[in-house]
Chain A
């Protein structure tokens, strides 16, 4: 224990000495995270020759910092202009963008930065302390258990639909239908592809994401001829809003802690990711809130939950990579390749053979989050001015950025048309009172639910009772039912208490 502590202290100060790598990389990460279609994973691929040329420790610090800051960067356009940079930020605009429209963009950014930094830092430390235990999570979370986790996220559709249940459910169902396009996961039989080869792997997420949220929003902006922030009041542009945002976030410290832990736990499950974590955290946050009716209207807790959770995922994905040699996500997989190039062999023996590398990755993450807190927070004042850009400039910029973003991941022209198609669908949904977020949840989580469901059935030779065959799965089923029923019960009790007064 004493030896490990000494290594940790030594690695911490060594990592701090790499500030000259960390700070520029933070800004690079903010940019690539903020541009739809770009991500830490494809940036590391593009910069791989550079990464391979770096020393092992420099490369490690660079990749980890880029990973963390890109995750944080994805929230910025999601809040300011309703463009989630990645699927992991898809739940961020649900409350972040309404805040920006109310002239609270600066406050929302500060809340996002604080909850991301603290959530990321905290989960990194928790992961460091509980690594051997956390690494076991993947041994218990198999397809049956993951079905229930997916249902936690999908049940958010019902919450979103609470104002108009029929329209909400129709939108969610449409999303699930769109999500089922592509080849099935078992026998690769194409379904609903209309002969388009580009749809064989399913509807690509980024074009759907940017189309539904951003392009449709640009159409609305053009139609209403409004400036984003002018809907609720002018942007003040003073430091007060930043401090207010910090105060709001810090006063909800407990909320940051438990939603980031949700992200950490989902992050350590191989194959699960930030999009699942952010929706599950948002759903749980809303379910146990005393003011669930405020969610979706610019409620700070609705912003804190997904941002803390998706940064919790970041540290979570490192656990199976380092302890088991299994990358938890795409970025971790690329890190694996780069580190293997340097002769580092991941797996159970890493912490015995090269403890400085193992602990160093977590320490790099902790230091990156620490420095991000101080370097990015002041920028919220200036970034928020995006919302004051006049419509004639902002709308074309949104559309062109998002179309490029739709193109980048696969470089298919088809994906640009798809983004426009989803933009049109999103616009019609908005104009007719259907919630685009409900459609998107279906598109993102539907294929994952189907995948785990079909795998569970295939493993059990089609026996449906397999869904209730695991103890942990059954505990999760009970948790799911409770998380759906208890809020209704508590809501009624609150109303009953209010009526006598």
Chain B
């Protein structure tokens, strides 16, 4: 390059480019620096539970791709509401703080009882796994087939155990009732352990729950229907999906764990968001993830990637279904 080539147009162009570069430099530098410290993750359930094991398995691989470690903080209570309120109310929207929640029951919660924040102020960007809800009976129940359940439900209102009213499996059951004309009375039994016990001991006629807990109950229960795809086959007694039996187009009623982030963080730091997205996807491409997931007793068939679009569609479907069944779920 010689000075003789520097005309006014080139000078202005170069100046504008240089100015733009200067203005953009801090952000580029920030992107290069990110992350320069650990990322804190709010988990809205108890330490030692399924979410904790799942989180540790996933981040054990993700941390190497992202180049930093994760610090979980457990805020259980009020069906996950406490954790979300803490995340939205007290954590800085700077992409150094994430939430690891369950897009099924927790989002359904918002439809039944609105939180103090706008539900559009955060979004999920990375689904780790999905676990469909299912309908199951105790091993000694008189109702041993789906036909038995429907026939009996047409004679009398059946008591059906559920973990809590606002749960995807509850929605699945209500949809089943609408489709078949059988009558069901949802009985919230406070947690998966009690829901399984309710079906086994005859406290309720049968129960609905996410399938992971049902698989863990082994011989004590028998699964009759899955509110989604049965990708584990025999582990759920080869139970068919609701859509295949009744020809419905019900979305999968899932418990789906995913990482979420403040919308403001994604808007203010698109480069950081991009880095999170890229490394999250790269984690799924690493075969070590499956090993870590299986080692943490996760059902390998349930490990399932979902990006921003898939998560957004799922969140919206839950909000829509929650609004549709709000009266039944909230007793309004």
Contacts A138-B197, A326-B220: A187 and B81 contacting too (C-beta < 8 A)?
no
Q: Can you name the residue of chain A whose Cβ is closest to the Cβ of B203?
A: A142
Q: How far is the CA of A337 from the CA of B76 in the complex (A)?
A: 20
Are B197 and A326 in contact, with the CB atoms below 8 A?
Answer: yes
CB distance from B41 to the nearest CB of A (A): 15
Q: Which residues of A contact B78 (CB under 8 A)?
A: 183, 188, 190, 197, 200-201
Query: Could you say which residues of chain B place their CB within 8 Å of the CB of A57?
Result: none
Is B312's beta carbon under 8 Å from chain A?
no
By a CB distance below 8 angstroms, the chain A residues around B137 are none
B202 at the interface (CB under 8 A from A): yes
Determine the chain A residues whose CB is within 8 A of the CB of B187 once the complex forms. Answer: 455, 458-459
Task: With CB as the reference atom, state the residue of chain A lying closest to B76.
Answer: A410
Structural contact, A326 and B200, CB atoms closer than 8 A: yes
**Which residues of the partner chain B approach A347 to less than 8 Å between Cβ atoms?**
217-220
The answer to whether A459 touches B185, judged by C-beta atoms less than 8 angstroms apart, is: yes
Q: How far is the CB of B191 from chain A (nearest CB, A)?
A: 9
Q: How far is the CB of B32 from chain A (nearest CB, A)?
A: 35
User: Chain B 135-165 against A: per-residue CB contact (8 Å), 1 yes, 0 no?
Assistant: 0000100000000000000000101000011
Closest Cβ neighbor of B205 among chain A residues:
A459
In the assembled complex, B166 has its CB within 8 A of some CB on chain A: yes
Q: In the complex, which residues of chain B have a beta carbon less than 8 angstroms from the beta carbon of A240?
A: none
- Return 5 A-B CB contacts under 8 Å, by A number: A187-B331, A189-B331, A324-B201, A326-B193, A458-B187
Q: How far is the CB of A198 from chain B (nearest CB, A)?
A: 7
- Residues of B contacting A223 with CB < 8 Å? none
Encoded as 1 (CB less than 8 Å from any A CB) or 0, chain B from 215 to 233 comes to 0111110000000000000
Given known contacts A201-B78, A326-B196, what 11 new A-B pairs fall within 8 Å (CB)? A138-B197, A185-B188, A185-B190, A187-B330, A188-B78, A188-B79, A200-B77, A324-B201, A345-B219, A347-B219, A459-B187
Contact B157 A139 (CB under 8 A): no
Q: Check A325–B219 contact: CB distance below 8 A.
A: yes
**Of all chain B residues, which has the CB nearest A138?**
B201
Task: Let me know if B218 and A325 touch, CB within 8 A.
Answer: yes
Residues of A within 8 A of B157 (CB): 461
Q: Contact mask A475-486 → B, CB, 8 Å, 1/0?
A: 000000000000
Q: By the criterion CB–CB under 8 Å, are B219 and A187 in contact?
A: no
Q: Cβ of B193 and Cβ of A327 under 8 Å apart?
A: yes
What's the nearest-Cβ distance from chain B to residue A273, in Å?
12
A340 to B166, CA, bound (A): 29
- Interface pair B203/A143, CB less than 8 Å apart: yes
A67 CB to nearest chain B CB (Å): 15
Q: Is the CB of B159 within 8 A of A142?
A: no
User: Which of B164, B166, B197 is the one whose CB lies under 8 Å from A270?
Assistant: B197
Please encode chain B, from 190 to 214, with 1 for each CB lying within 8 Å of some chain A CB and 0 for all others. 1001101100111110000000000
In the bound assembly, the distance between CA atoms of A143 and B81 in angstroms comes to 28
Question: Chain B interface secondary structure, helix, strand, loop or mixed?
Answer: mixed
* A residues with CB within 8 A of B: 42, 45, 48, 138-139, 142-143, 183, 185-190, 197-198, 200-201, 270-271, 320, 324-327, 333-334, 336-337, 340-341, 345-349, 410-411, 451, 455, 458-459, 461
Given A270-B193, A325-B220, A348-B219, are A411 and B165 neighbors across the interface (CB < 8 Å)? no
Q: CB distance B47 to A45 under 8 Å? A: yes
Q: Is the CB of B74 within 8 A of A411?
A: yes
The residue in chain B whose Cβ has the minimal distance to the Cβ of A454 is B188
Picked from B76, B189, B202, the residue with its CB within 8 Å of the CB of A139 is B202
Number of interface residues of B (CB under 8 A): 42
- Closest A-chain residue to B329, C-beta based? A187
Q: A340 and B203 in contact (CB under 8 A), knowing A186-B331, A188-B164?
A: no
Minimum-distance CB pairs A-B, first 4: A200-B78, A45-B48, A270-B197, A347-B219
Taking the complex as formed, is B266 at the interface, i.e. its CB lies under 8 A from any CB of chain A? no
In the complex, what residues of B have CB within 8 A of residue A349's CB? 219
- Whether a CB of chain A sits under 8 angstroms from the CB of B248 is no
Shortest A236–chain B CB gap in Å is 44
A135 nearest CB neighbor, chain B only:
B201
Asked if B85 is at the interface (CB within 8 A of a chain A CB), the reply is: yes
The residues in B between 67 and 84 inclusive whose CB is less than 8 angstroms from any CB of A are 74, 76-79, 81-82
Given contacts A410-B76, A459-B185, A459-B187, contact A341 B297 (CB under 8 A): yes
Q: Which residues of B contact A341 (CB under 8 A)?
A: 297
Whether A270 and B201, one on each chain, are in contact in the complex, defined by CB atoms closer than 8 angstroms, is: yes
- Give chain B nearest CB distance to A182 CB in angstroms: 9
- Name the CB-closest residue of B to A142: B203
- What are the residues of chain B within 8 A of A187 when measuring CB–CB? 165, 329-331
Are A186 and B219 in touch, CB under 8 angstroms?
A: no
Are A345 and B218 touching (Cβ within 8 A)? yes
Question: Which residues on B sit within 8 Å (CB–CB) of A201?
Answer: 76-78
Contacting A186 at CB < 8 Å: which of B86, B188, B200?
A: B188
Please give the distance in Å from A208's CB to the nearest CB on chain B.
Answer: 16
Asked if B197 and A461 make an inter-chain contact with CB atoms under 8 angstroms apart, the answer reads no
Docked Cα-Cα span, A190 to B193, in Å, equals 23
Judge if B113 is at the interface, Cβ distance under 8 Å: yes
Q: Find out whether the CB atom of A200 lies under 8 angstroms from the CB atom of B297.
A: no
What residues of A have a CB within 8 angstroms of the CB of B216 in the complex? 336, 340
Chain A residues positioned under 8 Å from B188 (CB to CB):
185-186
Report whether B217 and A326 are in contact in the complex, using a CB–CB cutoff of 8 Å. yes
CA of A189 to CA of B164, assembled, Å: 12
Do the beta carbons of A459 and B159 come within 8 Å of each other? yes
Chain A residues with CB below 8 A from B112, complex form: 188
Across the interface, do B77 and A346 meet the contact criterion of CB distance under 8 Å? Answer: no
In the complex where A200-B77, A410-B77, A458-B185 touch, is A142 in contact with B202 (Cβ < 8 A)?
A: yes
Chain A minimum-CB-distance residue to B159 = A459
For B47, list chain A residues within 8 Å (CB).
Answer: 42, 45
A455, closest chain B residue (CB): B187
Name which residue of chain B comes closest to A336, CB basis. Answer: B216
Q: Name A183's closest neighbour in chain B (CB-CB).
A: B78
- In the bound complex, residues from chain A placing their C-beta under 8 Å from that of B185 are 458-459, 461
Q: Chain B contacts of A336 at CB under 8 A? A: 216
B81: which A residues are within 8 A, CB to CB?
197, 200
CB distance from A423 to the nearest CB of B (A): 23
A200 with B82: CB separation less than 8 A: yes
Task: Please give, as numbers and ranges, the residues of chain A lying within 8 Å of B190 by CB-CB distance.
Answer: 185, 451
Say how far A154's CB is from chain B's closest CB, in angstroms. Answer: 20
Most buried by A among B78, B139, B194, B329: B78
Report the minimal beta-carbon distance from A55 to chain B, rounded to whole angstroms. 17
Shortest CB distance B259–A (Å)? 22
With A45-B47, A187-B165, A411-B74 as contacts: A197 and B82 at CB distance below 8 Å: yes
| Closest partner residue, chain B, to A323 (CB atom) | B220
What is the minimal beta-carbon distance from A184 to any residue of chain B, in angstroms?
Answer: 9
Shortest C-beta distance, A191 to chain B (Å), equals 12
